[in-house]
């Protein structure tokens, strides 16, 4: 029994998580979970964990860290009462020596006792806020993936982790750019304010019609291309670091947490449960 | 030539840092540096660093992490162009096996190649904002140290780091409490909104007149005691962890960074300098 997106759309977190855990739902998670924080996922051996955590701390806009597991513990207990990081994402990418080697609907057979899981905030949070403010988000309205580009903006290195920042682009009507900046700035755990807006060439993007990841999206008359720091940045840094085995979510297939999107801190304290 | 507080009060960051580095200024840093972020400091052996960083991530209100050094590098380059963590704080506490063993004006002789320095946001930032909004801060107006209490609120543990949250108390006129909450909430890297306000007994404080650290401060008629998560919390967690050698700033003797207090992220990127 494979479950349908429209069927899950009106369900709460618990029902969605059970469907994902049972591998009944394997598609993207945009709009699921009704107002809870969704996150990118990076799983690494403990020997890389301190440097990766420093990389996130130094690059909070592309890598807003919202949760870290204990070494070997798949629970991620600060993000939800019942999260099992081995099963609760609808799709995983397995990287060997920095290259994608396979995709999997769960990682029960890959999780080892030396692994640490990192959850990083994602753009879904500010995109919902833009839409609620009446600012259209083209790739959502047209059911495509946001266009992403390798920019010429350096990240701040930490140990073996380094590289250029990946940015995502959304076209905004010129008179709404200031509002879009202010709205997204309110969500520092979801990439915050844009890193740049205007002429793409200035941040090293030669052809705005040919993204490095995702689908192209038009920049209409009277619109400005606005660029946010993107959660694909850590994948580029992981390639640079040559981590022997590393696991991420599949793009768009996020971890759905129990934390409300408007929480002051993305932490569920054991005593609150 | 020992330098005077009033003399430094009107100076910029660079002059203040040189005076501290030369051990010409050894007193508290409140109000120095004119609008830049000041931080608490914790220095630990690398073997404890990943767990301590997880402790900070899980307890962002008492332990708002704003900077982490490379192992063995005293530069803390993301917080300033020219910070040397061995000399740039006016006073250091040296802890052995969790107990204060001595205080020092610099730690040139203590820094080793396996050490990691952590900078944590402090209350100076939101206190200045409260004052600017016309909300008096009694301990500043009376030149005493803010009263701090061991509460009954649990922190979220990480490895050997655990314990109760330490809170600082400021008495606020009842009709200004809501404004104080909203103002401090805007500074998540400076402890954010209060963790509690009202009857001290509810968070395990038996006698509001007898703080565990700092000086007593009155709760006047028509005032509410308001409690913020406090940067002394990690010192309690360090005691619990029994770290063999650990160094912190002396209370009130903070690290003065180059980062503006209103920066979106507390990061100076190498390419910006």
Q: What is the pLDDT of residues A23-71, one digit of tens each?
A: 999 888 888 887 899 999 999 999 999 999 999 999 999 999 999 999 9
Task: List chain A residues with CB under 8 Å of B54.
Answer: 53, 68, 70
Residue A270 has pLDDT above 80, yes or no: no
Written as one string, the DSSP assignment of A140-178 is: HHTT-PPPEEEEEEEPPPBTTB--EEEEEEEEEEGGGHH
Q: How far is Cα B58 from Cα B212, in angstroms, rounded to an integer?
A: 24
Q: Are A70 and B267 inside 8 Å of each other by CB? A: no
Counting Cβ atoms within 10 Å, is residue A192 exposed (0-12), middle (13-18) or buried (19+)? buried
Counting Cβ atoms within 10 Å, is residue B253 exposed (0-12), middle (13-18) or buried (19+)? buried
Nearest to B270 among A57, A156, A192 (CB): A156
Residue A91 has pLDDT above 90, yes or no: yes
| Statement to judge: residues A55 and A34 lie in one domain | yes
Instruction: Residue A210: give its domain's CATH number.
Output: 3.30.2040.10
Task: List chain A residues with CB under 8 Å of B265.
Answer: 60-61, 188, 192
Residue-level pLDDT at B125: 87
Q: Are A67 and B57 inside 8 Å of each other by CB? A: yes
CB B242 within 8 A of CB B97: yes
Residue-level pLDDT at B1: 59
Q: What is the pLDDT of residues B81-94, one digit of tens each?
A: 899 999 999 999 99
Q: Which helix (H) or strand (E) holds A260?
A: strand A255-260
Residue-level pLDDT at B27: 86
Residue-level pLDDT at B64: 96
CB B191 within 8 A of CB B64: yes
Average pLDDT in chain A = 93
Q: Which among A190, A258, A69, A46 has a CA at the least distance from the CA of B54?
A: A69
Q: Which helix (H) or strand (E) holds A248?
A: strand A245-249
Q: In degrees to the nearest 10, what's the CA dihedral of B125, B128, B133, B139?
A: 120
Whether A273 is covered by a domain: the verdict is: no
| Statement to judge: residues A140 and A107 lie in one domain | no
Whether A215 is covered by a domain: the verdict is: yes
| Statement to judge: residues A111 and A25 lie in one domain | yes
Residue B181 has pLDDT above 90, yes or no: yes
Contacts of A28 (CB under 8 A, 6+ apart): A5, A90, A252, A253, A254
Residue-level pLDDT at A32: 86
Substitution target in A114, A259, A265, A271 with the highest count of B β-carbons within 10 Å is A265
Whether A95 is covered by a domain: the verdict is: yes
> Which whole number is the average pLDDT over B133-145?
92
**Inter-chain CB pairs, A–B, below 8 Å:** 72
| Statement to judge: residues A104 and A210 lie in one domain | no
Q: Alpha carbon of A240 to those of A75, A153, A164, A233: distances in Å?
A: 28, 16, 10, 11
Among A5-9, A22-26, B203-207, the range scoring the smallest mean pLDDT is: A5-9
Q: Alpha carbon of B264 to those of A61, A115, A172, A195, B12: distances in Å?
A: 9, 32, 22, 11, 21
Written as one string, the DSSP assignment of chain B is: -PPPHHHHHTS-HHHHHHHHHTTS--S--TTTTSSEEEEEEEEEEHHHHHHHHHHHHH-TTT--EEEEPPTT-TT-TTT-TT--TTTSSS-EEEEETTEEEEEES--TTT--TTEEEEEEE-THHHHHHHHHTT---HHHHTT-PPPEEEEEEEPPPBTTB--EEEEEEEEEEGGGHHHHHHHHHT-GGGT-S-SEES-GGGGT-S-TTS-SBS------TTEEEEEEE-TTHHHHHHHHHT-SEEEEEPTT-PEEEEEETT-SSS---GGG-
DSSP 8-state class, residue A83? -
Residue bearing tokens 């999997």: A104
| Statement to judge: residues B113 and B16 lie in one domain | yes
Measure the N-to-C terminal CA separation of chain B; round to a whole number of Å: 32
| Statement to judge: residues B10 and B100 lie in one domain | yes
How many domains in chain A? Answer: 2
3-state DSSP helix/strand/coil % of chain A, to nearest 5: 25, 25, 50
Q: How far is Cα A227 from Cα B146, in angstroms, rounded to an integer?
A: 43
Instruction: Residue B106: give its domain's CATH number.
Output: 3.40.1640.10
pLDDT-based confidence at residue A1 (cuts at 50, 70, 90): low
Residue-level pLDDT at A272: 64
| Statement to judge: residues A88 and A152 lie in one domain | no
Q: Are B54 and A61 inside 8 Å of each other by CB? A: no
More confident residue, A272 or A25: A25
How would you classify the pairing of strands B164-173 and B148-154?
antiparallel
Nearest CA in chain A to B184: A264
Residue B119 has pLDDT above 60, yes or no: yes
**Residues of chain A that touch chain B, judged by Cβ-Cβ distance less than 8 Å:** 46, 49-50, 53-54, 57-61, 65, 67-68, 70-71, 78, 154, 156, 158-159, 185, 188, 192-193, 264-265, 267, 269-271
| Statement to judge: residues A118 and A246 lie in one domain | yes
Whether A17 is covered by a domain: the verdict is: yes
Residue-level pLDDT at B267: 94
Nearest CA in chain A to B152: A271
On the CB side of A132, how many CA atoms lie within 13 Å of its CA? 10
Q: How far is Cα A191 from Cα A146, in angstroms, rounded to an integer?
A: 15
pLDDT-based confidence at residue A269 (cuts at 50, 70, 90): confident
| Statement to judge: residues B65 and B111 lie in one domain | yes
Percentage above 70 pLDDT, chain B: 98
Residue B273 has pLDDT above 60, yes or no: no
| Statement to judge: residues A95 and A192 lie in one domain | no
Residue-level pLDDT at A70: 98
> Which whole number is the average pLDDT over B205-219?
95
Whether A23 is covered by a domain: the verdict is: yes
Residue-level pLDDT at B145: 87
| Statement to judge: residues A145 and A71 lie in one domain | no
Whether A168 is covered by a domain: the verdict is: yes
Residue B101 has pLDDT above 90, yes or no: yes
Here the tokens at position A259 are: 């934390």
> Which whole number is the average pLDDT over B22-26?
91
| Statement to judge: residues A220 and A253 lie in one domain | no
For A216, the domain range is: 124-233
Q: In degrees to the nearest 10, what's the CA dihedral of A107, A108, A109, A114?
A: 90
Q: How far is Cα A154 from Cα B210, in angstroms, rounded to an integer?
A: 51
Q: What is the pLDDT of residues A100-156, one digit of tens each?
A: 999 999 999 999 999 999 999 999 889 999 999 999 999 989 988 899 999 999 999
Residue B195 has pLDDT above 90, yes or no: yes
Residue bearing tokens 């903006």: A153
How many other C-beta atoms can be found within 10 angstroms of the C-beta atom of residue B115?
23
Q: How far is Cα B149 from Cα B166, in angstroms, rounded to an integer?
A: 6
Residue A273 has pLDDT above 70, yes or no: no
Q: Are B70 and A53 inside 8 Å of each other by CB? A: no
> Which whole number is the average pLDDT over B188-203?
96
Q: What is the pLDDT of residues A179-211, one digit of tens each?
A: 999 999 999 999 999 999 999 999 999 999 999
Residue A12 has pLDDT above 70, yes or no: yes
> Which whole number is the average pLDDT over B249-272?
88
Roughly what angle, to the nearest 10 degrees, separates helices A124-132 and A177-185?
A: 130
Residue B228 has pLDDT above 90, yes or no: yes
Residue bearing tokens 């900046």: A181
Q: How far is Cα B155 from Cα B176, in angstroms, rounded to an integer?
A: 28
Q: What is the pLDDT of residues B71-84, one digit of tens each?
A: 999 999 999 989 99
Q: How far B16 CA sits from the closest chain A CA (Å)?
A: 25
> Which whole number is the average pLDDT over B203-212?
97
Residue B5 has pLDDT above 70, yes or no: yes
Whether A271 is covered by a domain: the verdict is: no
Instruction: Compute the radius of gyration of chain A from its Cα atoms.
Output: 18
Nearest to A53 among B50, B192, B267 (CB): B50
């Amino acid at each position: 029994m494979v479950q349908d997106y429209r069927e899950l759309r009106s369900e709460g977190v618990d029902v969605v998580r059970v469907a994902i855990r049972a591998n009944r739902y394997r598609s993207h998670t945009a709009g699921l979970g009704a107002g809870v924080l969704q996150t990118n996922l990076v799983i690494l051996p403990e020997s890389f964990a301190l440097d990766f955590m420093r990389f996130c701390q130094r690059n909070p806009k592309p890598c807003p860290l919202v949760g870290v597991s204990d070494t070997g513990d798949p629970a991620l207990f600060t993000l939800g009462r019942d999260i099992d990081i081995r099963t609760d994402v609808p799709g995983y990418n397995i990287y060997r020596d920095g290259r994608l080697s396979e995709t999997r609907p769960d990682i029960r057979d890959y999780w080892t006792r030396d692994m640490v899981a990192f959850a990083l905030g994602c753009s879904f949070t500010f995109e919902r806020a833009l839409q609620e403010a009446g600012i259209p988000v083209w790739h959502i309205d047209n059911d495509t993936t946001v266009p992403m580009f390798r920019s010429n903006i350096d990240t701040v290195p930490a140990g073996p982790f380094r590289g250029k920042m990946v940015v995502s682009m959304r076209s905004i009507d010129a008179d709404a750019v200031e509002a879009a900046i202010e709205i997204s700035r309110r969500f520092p755990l979801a990439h915050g304010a844009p890193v740049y807006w205007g002429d793409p060439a200035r941040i090293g993007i030669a052809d705005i019609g040919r993204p490095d990841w995702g689908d192209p999206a038009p920049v209409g008359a009277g619109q400005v291309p606005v660029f946010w720091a993107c959660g694909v940045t850590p994948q580029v840094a992981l390639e640079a670091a040559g981590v022997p085995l590393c696991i991420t979510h599949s793009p768009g297939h996020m971890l759905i947490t129990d934390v409300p999107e408007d929480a002051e801190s993305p932490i569920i304290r054991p005593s609150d449960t």
